[in-house]
Amino acid sequence: MLIPHDTRRALDVVVDLVNTAPESDQGDRLADLEALYGFVRLHHVSDVGTLTEADLRAVRDVRGRFADVFAALDPRTCAELINQLVAAAGTTPRLTDHDGFDWHVHYFAPGASVADHLAADCGMALAFIVVSGEQERLRRCEAPDCRRAFVDLSRNRSRRYCDSRTCGNRLHVAAYRARRKEAAG
Ligand SMILES: [Zn+2]
Ligand SMILES: [Zn+2]
């Protein structure tokens, strides 16, 4: 699956956003405005001015809706959720090459709040996955104590665990056992 660079970046952002939620980690990683500023800086979210408590609440709300997208079991449910998110955010697609990046499309409307910005651009990146017939790649880690969201970009859609150290190791152990079994059988 060929994913444009900016789509891939937006997917990284939405995965990290969903994984800031308390149910998938210890404690909310978007607990306060400082954390939201940190998130925005980390992911180079452009055109963000002064943030307020209202922004924080709105971003947490959008985060919950994105979590639903990752929990959706079929493309239709996924599409409906994405349509709602993107419609509520409002979009103004436009080409840009800001800050030395190659030409790419921004979907968020000029002056959009950070929540609408994330909803529009991450929503469209997820829409691209659905359009490509790849909704199944939007996954939750199968480790019972983890459940982090991730996008499975493996060739045969075989990834079951997120790339956190614990779950990645689990994957290696499982592969090792499978190899041993094969060798023994
Ligand atoms: Zn950009
Ligand atoms: Zn995991």
pLDDT in tens, 80-137: 999 999 999 999 999 998 888 888 899 999 999 999 999 999 999 999 999 999 999 9
- State if pTM tops 0.85: yes
Q: Ligand 1 centroid to 96 CA: how many Å?
A: 7
Q: Which of the ligands is closest to the CA of residue 149?
A: 2
Q: Which of the ligands is closest to the CA of residue 105?
A: 1
Q: In this model, does residue 166 exceed pLDDT 70? A: yes
Q: In this model, does residue 49 exceed pLDDT 70? A: yes
Q: Which of the ligands is closest to the CA of residue 141?
A: 2
pLDDT band for 23, please (50, 70, 90 cuts).
Answer: low
Are 92 and 75 in contact, with CB atoms under 8 Å apart? no
> CA–CA separation, 74 vs 69, rounded Å?
10
Q: What is the DSSP string of 50-102?
A: ---HHHHHHHHHHHHHHHHHHH-SSHHHHHHHHHHHHHHH-EEEEEE-GGGPP
| CATH, residue 104 | 1.10.3300.10
Q: Ligand 1 centroid to 141 CA: how many Å?
A: 29
Q: In this model, does residue 168 exceed pLDDT 80? A: no
Say what the pLDDT of residue 66 is.
97
62 is in which domain, residue-wise? 5-184
Q: Which of the ligands is closest to the CA of residue 159?
A: 2
Q: Ligand 1 centroid to 169 CA: how many Å?
A: 34
Structure tokens at 62: 């959008």
The total number of structural domains that make up the chain: 1
